[in-house]
Amino acid sequence: MTTASPAAEAQPALLSVNNIEVIYDHVILVLKGVSLSLPEGGVVALLGANGAGKTTTLKAISNLLKTDRGDVTKGQIHFKGEQSNALSAADMVKRGLVQVMEGRHCFGHLTVEENLLTGAYTRGDGRGAISADLELVYKYFPRLKERRGSLAGYISGGEQQMCAIGRALMARPKVILLDEPSMGLAPQLVAEIFSIVTRLNREEKVSFLLAEQNATVALKHADYGYVLESGRVVLDGPAGQLAENADVKEFYLGFSGGGRVNFRDTKHYRRRKRWLA
């Protein structure tokens, strides 16, 4: 296992992934032993380039791999101390772990409010509690309240991301797995969404596991980070240290030494140089 942060060692992790292997279609080996842990109340970033295996890792945790014909063939995943490999996605949501999928996936033909309400599907605590949480979501995302009656298919990309996060919140989760929230959004919106993530973490005590290609933003808002490459964790550490790490700077933040390098150079280096190798 990779070195865990002191904070993560002090208390048992809320979520821990231990050396998992994932195979698609019975033959395509995509994750080759990934381990990570998310402490209670933490915000952990999972970084990596296209195809590194971030989405696969998140879906392995939320048990959404089956519909993609993927299987966890080795290793264990524990959520709140319970081994969770054999549970269904619905069981995970009931236990307090929800994934916000890459590309938002709002229900396009349902209104924004109906989308939010579908998030409460697994709850059994009555209408009163659910409508109170609806108001809570609207407090964090006032724009969703303005658009509550619009079909989710016709709202902007930023609003859809908010809708997808709000929908996950309606399940009253302990953990949200957030897959590429910055995808296709203008920098200002990305900043807005990440600052709401930080608030949700502090005020609502939701822990986050964030998969991101945008390492700059992710490391700014996370306390700890893991770097994935070709299905392996190649680097991990406290977010501040990762942000200072020369390799991370070079490959994910676009810096080399003091100055910015252009994209072509970065790509050129990438083929030869490996993480920590």
Ligand X SMILES: Nc1ncnc2c1ncn2[C@@H]1O[C@H](COP(=O)(O)OP(=O)(O)OP(=O)(O)O)[C@@H](O)[C@H]1O
SS3 83: strand
- One-letter amino acid at 147 equals R
Does 158 sit near ligand X (CB under 6 A)? no
Complex with another protein: residue 154 or 269, whichever CB lies closer: 154
Cα distances from 49 to residues 61, 98, 104, 108, 230, in angstroms, run 20, 23, 19, 29, 9
What's the min distance (Å) between Cβ of 30 and another protein?
17
DSSP string, 136-189: HHHHH-HHHHHTTTSBGGGS-HHHHHHHHHHHHHTT--SEEEEE-TTTT--HHH
154 binds another protein (CB under 8 A): yes
Q: Judged by CB, which is closer to another protein: 36, or 120? A: 120
* Contact positions vs Mg ion (CB under 5 A): 54-55, 102
Which of 9, 11, 12, 28 is close enough to bind ligand X by CB under 6 A?
Answer: 28
Expressed in angstroms, the distance from the first to the final Cα of the chain is 17
> What is the x/- site pattern for another protein, positions 92-111, by CB under 8 A?
xxx---xxxx-xxxxxxxx-
- Residue 255 makes contact with ligand X by CB under 6 A: no
- Amino acid code (one letter) for 37: S
Out of 1, 11, 51, 195, the only residue in the binding site for ligand X (CB under 6 A) is 51
Judged by CB under 6 A, how many residues of this single chain contact ligand X?
A: 17
Residue 22 CB, shortest distance to Mg ion, in Å, is 13
Q: Interaction with ligand X in 55-74: which residues (CB under 6 A)?
A: 55-56, 68-70
Task: Report the nearest approach of Mg ion to the CB of residue 131 (Å).
Answer: 34
Asked whether the beta carbons of 218 and 244 are under 8 A apart, the reply is: no
Q: Does 11 bind another protein (CB under 8 A)?
A: no
Query: 116: exposed, middle or buried (C-beta count within 10 Å: 0-12, 13-18, 19+)?
Result: buried
Q: How many of the chain's residues bind another protein (CB under 8 A)?
A: 41
| Per-position x/- string for 88-107, each x denoting binding to ligand X as judged by CB under 6 A, each - no binding | --------------x-----
Task: Please classify residue 245 by burial: count the beta carbons closer than 10 Å to its beta carbon, then call 0-12 exposed, 13-18 middle and 19+ buried.
Answer: buried
Measured between alpha carbons, how far is 119 from 55 in angstroms, rounded to an integer? Answer: 21
d(CA 112, CA 44): 28
The 109-138 contact track toward another protein, x by CB under 8 A, reads xx---xx-xxx-xx----------------
Contact footprint for another protein (CB under 8 A): 62, 64, 67-69, 88-90, 92-94, 98-101, 103-110, 114-115, 117-119, 121-122, 151, 153-154, 156-157, 160, 167-168, 170-171, 184
